[in-house]
Amino acid sequence: MSTEDAFVDMALRAWKLNVDRTGKFFSSLSEEQLLHEVAPGRNRLVYLWGHLAAVSDALIPLLGFSERLHPELDVMFISNPDRALAQTLSGAELTSIWNEMNDALWLGFGKLSASDWLDKHTAISDQDFAREPHRNRYSILLTRTSHLAYHFGQAILTRSR
Amino acid sequence: MSTEDAFVDMALRAWKLNVDRTGKFFSSLSEEQLLHEVAPGRNRLVYLWGHLAAVSDALIPLLGFSERLHPELDVMFISNPDRALAQTLSGAELTSIWNEMNDALWLGFGKLSASDWLDKHTAISDQDFAREPHRNRYSILLTRTSHLAYHFGQAILTRSR
């Protein structure tokens, strides 16, 4: 493996580790457990899971793979806070969306070369990218990996000891 | 900047972003606020901060920079759970340790070449590293960045809205 490919491999391993532990945790919860708050008055588990799914689904166009698979998630889990809408999704629905969306992402990741990873994502102009070359696909992968860990750390607080 | 150096730069930016937001959050808390639990019966903020400081301090020898600066943190914040020991540290002490230790890490990071990052850390044998070359310094940097985000996500739950 080339040096460049090794750096890509490291970041993909870190992403996969976080996606897998997050999916394993949330998909094992009952519909009732998904309604638990991570702390008094804070987000419910179902909202956190939907939020993570929505943010990851948005990576599909951001990295230039295809259109969103589930743009409908945003109104439920990004543009509105938890409990603002009566409408939400079941654990079964979120598990299915989670797996489908992560499979699509993984497929797209595998098609990117090391230089593709250092190339701009679709939400930055050529002008801005010329000034800030660190705003590339790889940076998006790293920050979204941290975002997964950030909310997984919150979700895990509900696990009984 | 070479391609290899660009990948290193991305990961260091992600690390720094997480270190800075974590230090800014914890160092702004009063001694009284540091005693708040992130959720009922869960770790207190002071414990999370000390835990993150201890884990980061352990990176100094793990990455081959020098001896630990603050090995005394481990008994308080790693080998024992929160509240097991009466002894702890004040916010002022943790702020000072946090800044000193992160400055030492940043200095060490800056001295590593891209190939140094892909080389083994000090806690893996040559034999194991030959079998699992992904267990390198870079992988440690990425996983510790996720670890910072994981606990920062918990700590932030105590921030009043």
Predicted structure pTM score: 0.97
Please, which pLDDT band fits residue B86 given cuts at 50, 70 and 90?
Answer: confident
For chain B, state the CA radius of gyration. Answer: 17
Q: What's the gap in Å between the CA of B7 and the closest CA on chain A?
A: 6
**What pLDDT does B161 receive?**
58
Q: What's the gap in Å between the CA of B115 and the closest CA on chain A?
A: 8
> Which runs of E-coded beta strand occur in chain A?
none
pLDDT digit string, tens, across residues B90-144 = 999 999 999 999 999 999 999 999 999 999 999 999 999 999 999 999 999 999 9
Buried b (16+ CB within 10 A) or exposed e, A47-82: bbbbbbbbbbbbbbbbbebeebbbeebbebbeeeeb
**What pLDDT does B76 receive?**
96
**What pLDDT does A161 receive?**
58
pLDDT mean by block of 10 residues, chain A; 161 residues: 94 98 98 96 97 98 97 96 91 98 98 96 94 95 98 94 58
Contact B10 A138 (CB under 8 A): yes
User: Which residues from chain B sit within 8 angstroms of residue A18, using beta carbons?
Assistant: 146
User: Which residues from chain B sit within 8 angstroms of residue A149, using beta carbons?
Assistant: 146-147, 149-150, 153
- Among the partner-chain residues B4, B149, B157, the one whose CB lies closest to the CB of A149 is B149
**What pLDDT does B134 receive?**
92
User: Which residues from chain A sit within 8 angstroms of residue B12, using beta carbons?
Assistant: none
Calpha distance A9→A110 (Å, rounded): 10
Contact B147 A147 (CB under 8 A): no
Query: Could you give all domains of chain B from N- to C-terminal order, each with its CATH number?
Result: 3-156 (1.20.120.450)
| Whether residue B56 has pLDDT greater than 80 | yes
Alpha carbon B93 to chain centroid, angstroms: 16
Contact B39 A157 (CB under 8 A): yes
3-state secondary structure of A99: helix
